[in-house]
Amino acid sequence: MKKTVFLFFVTGIISLTGCSKKKLDLSEKATDSISICLRLAYQDATPYQDRLLYNEKAFRLIMDKKNDSVQRLNLSEVANRYFNLNEMDKFHEISRILLKKSIAGKDSLRMALAYSNIGEYYMGGIGNADSSFAYYKKAEKLYRKLNKKINLATTYINIAILQNKINDYIGSEHSAIKALEELNGTSEKYKVYEAYNIIAITANMQRDYKRCLEYHNKALQVANSNKLPKEFHPIAGTFNNIGTVFQDEKNYKKAIEYYEKALKETDLFIDKPTTYAIFLGNLGYSKFCANDYSDLPALFYKSLKISDSLSYYPESILARTRLSEYYFKVKDTAKAKKYAVEALNLSRESKLDKSLLFSLSQAAAVDDKKASDYREEYITLSDSIHLEERKMQNKFARIEFETDEIVLEKDKAIGQKWTILWIAISAFLSGVLFYAYRMQRSKQRELVLLQSQQKADEEIYQLILDQQQKFDEGREKEKKRIAKELHDGIMNRLASIRFNLFVLENRTDPETIKHCIGQIEQIQEVEKEVKDIAHDLSHDTFSPKKDYEELLRSLALEVANAASLKISLWFSKSIKWETINAVVKMHIYRILQESLHNIKKHAAAKEVSINIAQESELLHIEIKDDGVGFDAEAHSSGLGIGNIQSRAEEMNGSSEITSSSAGTVVRIKIPI
């Protein structure tokens, strides 16, 4: 009868913190520190119960803290300590707390770690394999999103082990290959070793011994060329697995050779006593199959003793089954039945179904009376196990499908969001471009309008200048006429009167005096004529300076008469208007015109003062009224105020408009 030998999975537990060899202060004050409690809980030298107490104390101290990244990190370390202490229920409890706090804190990395821990907790029995698989898939999703390659590879390795347990060998190999893909380029050689080991084992279970040996040799090469953790004994583990391949091929001589190599490794019994017991049993069974009884049944008994002392039931049951087979072979039926029944009872008590199958098969072989009952139970149990495995495989497939479907739906939703986003961005950019185009067109129109307005202003000013020139020509003509009148009329008459009065120098008789008195009437007529000329003559000399100022006074007078305003206009005598550019004077005229128009229309003012002064190379204009005022910020974009500001800017000047309920002040500074 062929026996299936338990294969050796290397599943190392890597702590989040290293073991400190530093001597620690064990006082109450020192142990209040979370970090010290965690260190003490991790040290193998600390008694087991003390390690539990330190870990519990660390947990209480941690829970008094707020939910932040430090608290969640410390909680993950507490969970790790409970795992190392084999306190799986506490490990599960702390992992659940960690998960809850990670979700609340939106900590994806700790969420993934908590999912992995819970998956590890449910990994123990086949009945919980679907729960374990579901949590590992959740962890996988988060690790992939976070691009945590090593964590993702570890998750794939654990999923591969789960799939192997339910005889999903193709799925197991696929998961191990995905782990290798994530590990490519990393320094995590031990995990590479684990992945090779799993691929080899799945190949062995499918009777593909060539491929199995290929990957065991790859694992052995990794173990030999890299410093892997010695406490896990990877080389010994690979020797055992290669021995199992040769045992399945019935090459017992080679199998014995590799089992003996595995057992020779230093400190194997100290570091991993259960593994040592498995190796002893495997060596003994290969010798039994090779009809080499030199060390039998001692090897089986030694394996049994170690397994029983550690309550490692799978190997305890297998050792009893092999002893039963051995004694049946050497014709000791009583002992054969004894160990078969012990194996059967222990299988039932420990609820290890696959071990129970081996026990039932061996019991049927050694007990003819109950053989039919055992075989019937064997068939029923075997069918039940296979059915459960198929159900579990279906559950795994459903979880995988649902996870992939969720990912696809999420990707689809993300794709839709991106599509909507791109459409929105495109629409926004189109709107921006259209707005920019409209603004550009508007600016172009505004520029054309400003150019047209400037041209019109220049033309108007030129007309004013032309009018002024004509006025000057008329004035000059009038001056010439007056000069002619004075010269030809008054001067001649005065000369005649002067000549007639010269006679008084020589003659003073009454007749002469009477004649001269008549000249007084002539003088009065000349006086009247001078008065008439003076009446027609302007009192102002109409210099170019006073011409522009008169233009501004005319504007002020026109507005004052139209709006019943009292307008005072003052000019600094130092201003030389004839030196100021015509365009600047046109802008000043328009600013005063716009300001007075605004006052007339909106201010309800009674008095307006306009002061124009020159300081150094700056012309200061102040227009002040006593009206009701307005909100300068709210109306800053109004056309009237905007025109004033734009005209000031065109002259490289500045404008300031302040307003209150007591009135408005417009101040303009223009470089000249």
Three-state SS sequence of 429-470: HHHHHHHHHHHHHHHHHHHHHHHHHHHHHHHHHHHHHHHHHH
As a whole number of angstroms, the distance between CA 158 and CA 45 comes to: 30
Residue-level pLDDT at 444: 83
pLDDT digits (tens, 9 = 90+) for 269-308: 988 899 999 999 999 999 999 999 989 999 999 999 999 9
Residue-level pLDDT at 242: 93
As a whole number of angstroms, the distance between CA 210 and CA 217 comes to: 11
| DSSP string computed for 476-519 | HHHHHHHHHIIIIIIIHHHHHHHHHHGGGGT---HHHHHHHHHH
Residue-level pLDDT at 283: 95
Pairing of strands 618-625, 654-660: unpaired
As a whole number of angstroms, the distance between CA 573 and CA 541 comes to: 16
As a whole number of angstroms, the distance between CA 425 and CA 428 comes to: 5
Is-contact 38 55, C-beta < 8 A?
yes
Residue-level pLDDT at 263: 93
Residue-level pLDDT at 635: 56
pLDDT digits (tens, 9 = 90+) for 299-346: 999 999 999 999 989 999 999 999 999 999 999 999 999 999 999 999
DSSP label of 7: P
Q: To the nearest 10°, the Cα dihedral for 209, 210, 211, 213? A: 80
Report, as ranges of residue numbers, the positions in the chain whose pLDDT lies below 50: 1-2, 4-31, 488, 538-544, 639
Q: Quote the pTM value.
A: 0.56
Comparing CA positions, the residue from 324, 218, 234 lying closest to residue 272 is: 234
Residue-level pLDDT at 392: 59
Is-contact 234 269, C-beta < 8 A?
no
Comparing CA positions, the residue from 282, 267, 268, 270 lying closest to residue 314 is: 282
Cβ neighbours of residue 98 closer than 8 Å, sequence gap 6 or more: 72, 75, 76, 79, 110, 113, 114, 117
As a whole number of angstroms, the distance between CA 274 and CA 281 comes to: 11
Q: Where are the alpha helices (DSSP H) in 184-251?
A: 189-205, 209-225, 234-248
As a whole number of angstroms, the distance between CA 606 and CA 566 comes to: 6
